[in-house]
Structure 1
Amino acid sequence: MTAETLNKTFLTLQLVMKEIMNCEGRNDYKLAHFHKDKLIRAGKLPASLQCDTTSFGLAQQSILALAVASWIDPPLPQASTQPSPRSPPLSPPSPTHFDPFLYF
């Protein structure tokens, strides 16, 4: 596989990740054509893409909403014939626990 093919592949991956962040984690997005071959011929194909603040903010809000939903309304346990003891209430997650960019 050539370096050009790898670069085009990773740029597509970055475009997909950005669209997923804009769609709040869903996969019902439309990926716009980036015209990578045209940019290669012009010598202007970027090595990476910037993430704008709107996409980043939407991703953070989605992650926080999922985190809050998981400790406010936890999934129901599986049905059992044995009575189960009550579990202690869940505590809210720490902010750093759900920061996906903390480890980069």
Structure 2
Amino acid sequence: MSRYYIGLMSGTSLDGVDAVLVEFDGNTPCCIAAHTEPYPTTLRNALLELCRPDATVKKMMELDVQLGRLYAQQIQQLLANTGVSPQQIEAIGTHGQTIHHRPDTRYPSTLQIGDP
């Protein structure tokens, strides 16, 4: 029996979101569909501003929701294009959008947003 999984990924370049639908038949994966959705210009600019040290938590929370909605729209489009129903999806994995990445500080940390 086939199992379907969706993965979402976006990088620090803020060029867009990559989505992939993968089917597993046993242990063998097969890419069913993949798509990259560029960020709308206004969202990309807002995300770039959010990466600044003076960004507010309020703005971070707003963009967290906007990204989650964009991710959901991309998933819905991927499913519509392939004819796979949401009920067939075993899991969805997303890295989120990195807005702060400080690995070389006293307290190494990273922060992603995009809670679907």
| TM-score for both structures, normalised by structure 2 | 0.26
Greater fraction strand: 2
